Structure 1
Amino acid sequence: MKILRASEYKTMPWKNGGGVTVEIAIHPPGASVDAFEWRISMATVAQDGPFSSFPGIDRTLAIIEGNGMALAIAGDEPVALTTKSTPLPFAADVPVDASL
């Protein structure tokens, strides 16, 4: 078992440049955001906008604090997410637009 300490998390710009994410863990260790098998991260979403695309990756999103957001995934009707919602799985290589 490995203890993950917040002081060791990696802070970086979003792939699309629209914000900042905190990478908690990535596999394989040292992989880039363009070539990973799995990744756990947290992001503060401060404005409406598109999600970054990650071809070949499945994404699961959970709201851990705040007022939530609505996600329009692949042009479908927006799905509202709040801290009370169950985590939402979706493909990370389709267009996703978030509205706060």
Structure 2
Amino acid sequence: MSVQRFSRATLRAMPWKNGGGTTQEIASWPPGAGLDSFGWRVSIATIASAGPFSVFPGVDRQIMLLEGDGVRLFTHDGRVSHRLDVPHRPFVFSGDDPIDCTLLGGASNDFNVMTRGGQWRADVQVLDHAANIVPAAHGVLLALRGDWRLNDEALAEGEGLCWTDHAQAWQAAPGSEDVRLVAVRFVPG
């Protein structure tokens, strides 16, 4: 499969089952996989109200605040208690955990990466400088702040690239100061 471009502005928003927010799927593998059968999935969620996250048994999760005041993530048994209130700092947790959240202010937008344990692992990096991104057969890149050049591709803030099923390396070069790029590489687990 070739490299696919996407823009946050044109991703379709789907409501959550519990009505607490919406999700914009960026990509998932394999193509057409549902929430019970994906190997990996990347999305952006808007959390608009307090409430429980969906449980995903056997899935490793990473979440990162993009915009907004953030949320407090917790389990009622106290094993997890985390303030997701600093943008662009990934937090890892198990999809097996019954995570609940409270808003720290208004709604927030979050970047989410999920991988099915034993099948895939995700390496999530946030870059603020030029870097070589090691090859991976599957991955997603998203310009979080500022403009970037990735090999021969120019990305403006809010634009991204996704590739599947072929090894791809990237040379990431910022187009200005005060930039951020999230690079997600998926490797067999």
Q: How high is the TM-score relative to the length of structure 1?
A: 0.84
Q: Cα deviation per residue 1:7-30 (whole Å; 9 max; x = unaligned)?
A: 3x3432325453321111010111
The structure-2 alpha-carbon separation of the partners of 1:64 and 1:5, relative to structure 1 and needing over 3 Å to count, comes to: closer
More displaced 10-residue stretch of structure 1: 80-89 or 90-99: 80-89
Counterpart code for 1:72: F
Q: Cα deviation per residue 1:49-70 (whole Å; 9 max; x = unaligned)?
A: 0000111111100000000111
The structure-2 alpha-carbon separation of the partners of 1:11 and 1:51, relative to structure 1 and needing over 3 Å to count, comes to: same
Q: Cα deviation per residue 1:42-98 (whole Å; 9 max; x = unaligned)?
A: 111111100001111111000000001110036325211113462101001211010
Q: How high is the TM-score relative to the length of structure 2?
A: 0.47
Runs of 5+ unmatched residues, structure 2 = 104-189
For residue 69 of structure 1, what is the aligned residue in structure 2? 71
Identity %: 44
Taking only aligned residues, the RMSD between alpha carbons, in angstroms, comes to 1.9
For residue 154 of structure 2, what is the aligned residue in structure 1? none
Higher strand share: 2
User: SS of the residue aligned with 1:83?
Assistant: coil
Q: Give 4+ residue runs of structure 1 displaced > 6 Å after superposition.
A: none
Contact 1:10 1:24 in 2 (8 A): no
Contact 1:65 1:83 in 2 (8 A): no
Contact 2:52 2:98 in 1 (8 A): yes
For residue 25 of structure 2, what is the aligned residue in structure 1? 23
1:96 matches 2:99: yes
